[in-house]
């Protein structure tokens, strides 16, 4: 491991024997699971995604007691979200501490590239877990096509940048959300669509996930800015959702030009 900008960066040498690399990848699952937030189920799941760059991105399941169950973010989705926020453009493998559910298998097909699932010391292709995946043609874009490390001067600019990096090949919606916590930390999330629609993640879910993976889940949200356009907006629901988990947050919505 090495440190970059105060944050721990996990880097593996992917030129070595695959079995050894995958064993090292799986060794991070306990650490990943420690970031889980499970007020409803009490069931912690860790995931570790290995990028083509050799970097490892940790994810854990996120539950929100005040929100509907379908706002839960699974560990696999969290790890992919972390990889996307880190600028990774391709994943090689995903180690998990529990078998991926059908919902996650469908979400992972949006990577549109071979992916090994590492579970209990065994690596199997994602295609074996979901041999007859539902798929819609989306013009060649994949979940990591717009992966980028977002930087902006303020919440407005960050929300707009996040919206521009949405993965929405099915509805064309652009939706981004920027959060500022009470301590001043800032997080941005984007819409991530699934061809099956339901496994999609809203910009709020991805922003909250990145906040939790950064160890800031208990740092209250002070402000939120949404920027979006398209037929599947989050803005109409955002005040009600944030009122449950961040009742003191100041919320604004910015229009985007088509």
Binding site feature residues for Zn(2+):
74, 101, 104
Which residue has tokens 């496994």? 199
Closest CA to 166 of 143, 186, 140: 143
Q: Tell me which DSSP letter residue 69 carries.
A: G
Q: Is 112 left (phi over 0), alpha (psi -120 to 50) or beta?
A: left
Do 167 and 109 meet the contact criterion of CB atoms below 8 Å apart?
Answer: no
- Active-site option among 76, 88, 110, 228: 76
Do 78 and 97 meet the contact criterion of CB atoms below 8 Å apart?
Answer: no
Annotated binding site: 61-63, 74, 101, 104
Annotated binding site for substrate: 61-63
List strands edge to edge, sheet with 186-190. Answer: 186-190, 174-181, 221-229, 250-255
Residue 76 annotated among the catalytic residues of the structure: yes
State CA 156 to chain mean position distance: 21
Q: How many CB atoms lie within 10 A of CB 183?
A: 9
C-alpha dihedral sign at 83, 86, 87, 88: negative
Question: Measured between alpha carbons, how far is 237 from 7 in angstroms, rounded to an integer?
Answer: 33
Closest CA to 94 of 78, 86, 102: 78
Structure token digits, residue 254: 């910015």
Sequence-separated (6 or more) residues with CB below 8 Å from residue 213: 35, 58, 59, 60, 78, 81, 82
- Catalytic residues, by residue number, are 76
């Amino acid at each position: 491991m090495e440190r970059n900008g105060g944050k721990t960066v996990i880097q593996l040498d992917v030129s070595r024997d695959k079995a050894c690399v995958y064993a090292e990848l799986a060794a991070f699952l306990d650490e990943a699971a420690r970031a889980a937030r499970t007020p409803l189920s009490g069931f912690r799941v860790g995931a570790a995604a290995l990028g083509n760059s050799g970097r490892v991105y940790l994810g854990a399941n996120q539950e929100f007691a005040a929100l509907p169950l379908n706002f839960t973010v699974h560990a696999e989705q969290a790890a992919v979200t972390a990889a996307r926020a880190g600028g990774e453009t391709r994943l090689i493998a995903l180690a998990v501490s529990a078998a991926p559910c059908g919902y996650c298998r469908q979400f992972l097909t949006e990577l549109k590239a071979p992916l090994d699932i590492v579970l209990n010391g065994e690596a199997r292709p994602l295609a074996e877990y979901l041999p007859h995946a539902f798929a819609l043609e989306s013009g060649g874009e994949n979940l990591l096509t717009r992966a980028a490390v977002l930087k902006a001067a303020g919440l407005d600019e960050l929300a707009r940048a996040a919206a521009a990096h949405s993965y929405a090949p099915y509805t064309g919606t652009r939706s981004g959300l920027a959060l500022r916590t009470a301590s001043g930390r800032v997080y941005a999330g984007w819409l991530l669509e699934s061809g099956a629609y339901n496994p999609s993640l809203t910009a709020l879910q991805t922003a909250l996930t990145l906040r939790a993976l950064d160890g800031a889940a208990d740092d209250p949200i002070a402000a939120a800015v949404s920027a979006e356009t398209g037929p599947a907006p989050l803005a109409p629901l955002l005040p009600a959702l944030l009122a449950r988990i961040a009742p003191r947050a100041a919320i604004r919505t910015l229009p985007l030009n088509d």
